[in-house]
Amino acid sequence: MKFYKKLDLDHDLWSDIHRQMTQIIIEDYGIPGEIDVDRVYGCINNDLFLERVPAFKIFMSENRIEKLWIACVALTKNVRAHVDFSRGCSSYQEFQNKSLDRRLAINWPIYNVAQSETAYYETLENDAAVIRDNLLINFEENKLRKIDSFTLTEPTMLRADLIHGMKVFNDKTRIIFSTRFQQDPIHLF
């Protein structure tokens, strides 16, 4: 099974996207190197995001992606193993019914990504899941087995509906943007 795919992006376009996204981090959260937090997720107004990251609009049109569904920024040290719902717009019920419509996210590395690892897991025991809220299901890691992993050092499309987690191997905060789309851009996966 495929869990992720590194995108083959034009170098200049990615460097524009990276610069514009970094500007948001600087303006909204302070200088990346000075951020020391455990966990911040910020959902960004889509229209504002597209205005502030015009290179991202170019990425969308070049890749025939019509509508951004959500853009958010994650400032984290570690992320416990979990399955995402579509961030609030779907429910655990939909997940169980397998009617979750959005499975793919594109994650964009911004800061302190090289010393991190995103891992995928399978469950070893049936009771590994801990339902926490309507946003995601958490899992107990001692009831999981790691089956794949990668380091988010370039823009990567990944399955958000399969069990995944992230670890940072230094004491800094890792910063990424995550985007989802009205329709999963399955043609890029």
**What CA–CA distances, in Å, run from 146 to 149, 161, 164?**
8, 16, 9
Residue nearest to Fe ion (CB): 84
Minimal distance, residue 20 CB to Fe ion, in Å: 23
Return the number of the residue (59 or 139) whose C-beta is nearest Fe ion.
139
Return the number of the residue (16 or 94) whose C-beta is nearest Fe ion.
94
* Structure-token pair, residue 41: 């997720």
* Structure-token pair, residue 45: 């107004």
Binders of Fe ion among residues 50 to 89 (CB under 5 A) are 84
Return the number of the residue (30 or 168) whose C-beta is nearest Fe ion.
168
What letter represents residue 60's amino acid?
Answer: M
Nearest to 146 by CA among 121, 124, 163: 121
Return the number of the residue (84 or 184) whose C-beta is nearest Fe ion.
84
**What CA–CA distances, in Å, run from 42 to 46, 62, 69?**
12, 26, 14
Per-residue binding string, Fe ion, 82-111, x by CB under 5 A, is --x---------------------------
Interface with Fe ion (CB under 5 A): 84
